[in-house]
Amino acid sequence: MKLIDDHFEEVILVALMAIMTALIGGQIFMRYVMQASLSWSEELARYCFIWMAYISVSYAVKKDVHISTTAFVTMLPPRGIVMARILSHLIFAGFAFLVVYEGIALVEKLFGFGQRSSSLGLLMGYVYLAPVVGFALVLFRLAQRILIELSALKTEGLQ
């Protein structure tokens, strides 16, 4: 279980990057060497990129490397820093919940409409599922970060 927790996003991101690279490389080879082009490769590479973008948000939360402004926070005492980080995580969780909630409604509509992509014929609901899955993972990773911050409050005697 720890292996999955440690490397879940990484494995997905590496796989999507490999697929995207192979598709683009194959398209370049087909176009310039074989004088023919694949009609679907660009579209699939784009969808891989979209999924990578949303999964990488979760990865950034897991590694605690997302963009943050620390000028004010660093002036706080240690307990205040931890509390500010928890507040920041809670605000971000509220936004992530909103994205998941509204995303589910949009995906349900798209599956209901049956809209398909032009080259692949893929149901567009699968593409629009990327933010839902990505931000659901963000919620999970934010819960982990909050627990880490709360344990820091207890173990470092910051209560």
Are the C-beta atoms of 82 and 152 separated by less than 8 Å? yes
What is the pLDDT at residue 72? 84
Q: What is the dihedral of CA 48, 54, 56, 62, to 10 degrees?
A: -150
Which secondary-structure segment (H or E) carries 158? none
Which secondary-structure segment (H or E) carries 74? none
Q: Give the span between the Cα atoms of 30 and 52, in whole angstroms.
A: 25
What is the pLDDT at residue 159? 54
pTM for the model stands at 0.89
For the chain, list residues with pLDDT below 50: none
Summarize pLDDT for 101-112 with one digit per residue, the tens. 999 999 999 999
What is the pLDDT at residue 17? 98
What is the pLDDT at residue 5? 80
